């Protein structure tokens, strides 16, 4: 072996420390990791020999290190006088002796898990593969409560791959760049907005000033709808044309049925009305007159002529039961 006695004397060591653990004395680190071939470990079979002066010994608690002598697998200590010694913290006085140290054996041990959070691996979020669909303002106003009809009438612009954590402002910039650069995408006006197709039972628009508050995964699942305010309203495909014609026929039939119902409730048309002819309105002076008076508007136009006759003639005809006399009084003013 190699003799390190001279090195210990040159360093002026007050104590020599033999370690097989990473820390010592309540968490101090006497061994300097920059010295030697490897860091101290309990399972490497190596002993770390550290020299400590009277200055270094108390400064270990402040984070300083001792003087690194060597790393070895076995050591032989020869003493010529009684010296104090500690073995695993147990103090004793050792008379002159020869001490040999080496690794005895290895045993399986359990290591305590360190406190604190470890490195958490965050899995990347999956990207959304969305189909971009455009609808017009007229279609939105008529069918925003009918999802199936809007899905049939929507014009397919293309497909796009978007990260799910993007907000709508970022998606707008991506779509505008796609519309300008790509030849396959149809022309879309600058006045367009997003449509939420999955939050409620019907579609509704997203205010452009609030696009930074919404994420793309909140308003779309497989299809992303945009509302183009200046787009043409003509159908773009045969399926859309058939759907549009069927809807037009249905709307026309509903309007015709509604007009017929209104005419039936009114009882007459504009041609039947006589403009300018005054309409006679019954006016009552009181509830008593309404119940007991012989009003012409209640009993007809011929009833007033009977009242114009003398009451004696009417009473005489009634008393005698002479119907012919009563008829002569009433004619020609009324038809009984």
Mean pLDDT of the chain: 75
Domain termination residue (choose one: 194, 228, 262): 228
Same domain, 70 and 36: yes
**Mean pLDDT to the nearest integer, 213-228:** 87
Q: What pLDDT is recorded for position 179?
A: 81
Distance CA 153, CA 235 (A): 7
Domain membership flag for residue 281? no
Statement: residue 181 has pLDDT above 90: no
Q: Tell me whether residue 263 is in a domain.
A: no
Q: Name the residue range of residue 206's domain.
A: 127-228
Domain assignment present for 254: no
Shared domain for 37 and 93, answered yes or no, is yes
87 found inside a domain = yes
239 in a structural domain: no
- Position 276 scores a pLDDT of 45
Final residue belonging to a domain, choices 67, 86, 102: 102
Tokens of 49: 């020999």
More confident of the two residues 21 and 119: 21
In this structure, of 11-15, 76-80, 107-111, 177-181, the range with the lowest mean pLDDT score is 107-111
Q: Is this prediction's pTM over 0.75? A: no
Confidence of residue 273 (pLDDT cuts 50, 70, 90): very low
pLDDT at 246: 55
Is the pLDDT at 236 greater than 70? The verdict is no
Buried b (16+ CB within 10 A) or exposed e, 297-333: eeeeeeeeebeeeeeeebeebeeeeeeeebeebbeee
| Residue-wise pLDDT tens digits, 26-50 | 788 888 877 766 778 877 888 889 9
CA distance 202 to 301: 62
């Amino acid at each position: 072996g190699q003799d390190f006695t001279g090195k210990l004397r040159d360093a002026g060591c007050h104590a020599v420390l033999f370690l097989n653990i990473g820390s010592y004395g309540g968490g101090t680190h006497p061994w300097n990791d920059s010295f030697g071939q490897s860091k101290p470990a309990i399972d490497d079979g190596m002993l770390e020999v550290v020299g400590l002066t009277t200055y270094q010994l108390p400064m270990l608690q402040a984070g300083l290190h001792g003087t690194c002598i060597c790393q070895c697998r076995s050591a032989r200590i020869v003493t010529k006088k009684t010296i104090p010694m500690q073995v695993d913290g147990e103090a004793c006085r050792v008379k002159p002796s020869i001490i040999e140290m080496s690794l005895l054996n290895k045993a399986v041990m359990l290591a305590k898990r360190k406190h604190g959070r470890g490195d958490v691996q965050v899995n990347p979020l999956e990207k959304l593969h969305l189909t971009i669909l455009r609808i017009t303002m007229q279609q939105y106003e008529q069918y925003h409560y009918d999802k199936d009809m809007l899905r049939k009438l929507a014009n397919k612009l293309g497909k796009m791959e978007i990260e799910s954590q993007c907000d709508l402002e970022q998606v707008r910039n991506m779509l505008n760049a796609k519309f300008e650069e790509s030849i396959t995408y149809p022309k879309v006006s600058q006045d367009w907005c997003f449509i939420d197709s999955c939050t409620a039972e019907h579609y509704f628009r997203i205010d452009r000033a609030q696009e930074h508050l919404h994420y793309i995964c909140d308003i779309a699942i497989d299809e992303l709808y945009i509302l183009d305010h200046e787009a043409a309203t003509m159908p773009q495909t045969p399926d859309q044309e058939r759907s549009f014609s069927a809807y037009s026929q249905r709307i026309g039939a509903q309007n015709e049925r509604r007009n017929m119902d209104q005419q039936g409730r009114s009882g007459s048309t504009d041609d039947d009305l006589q403009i300018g002819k005054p309409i006679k309105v019954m006016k009552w002076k009181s509830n008593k007159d309404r119940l007991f008076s012989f009003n012409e508007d209640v009993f007809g136009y011929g009833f007033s002529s009977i009242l114009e006759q003398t009451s004696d003639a009417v009473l005489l005809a009634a008393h005698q039961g002479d119907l012919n006399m009563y008829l002569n009084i009433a004619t020609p003013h009324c038809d009984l």
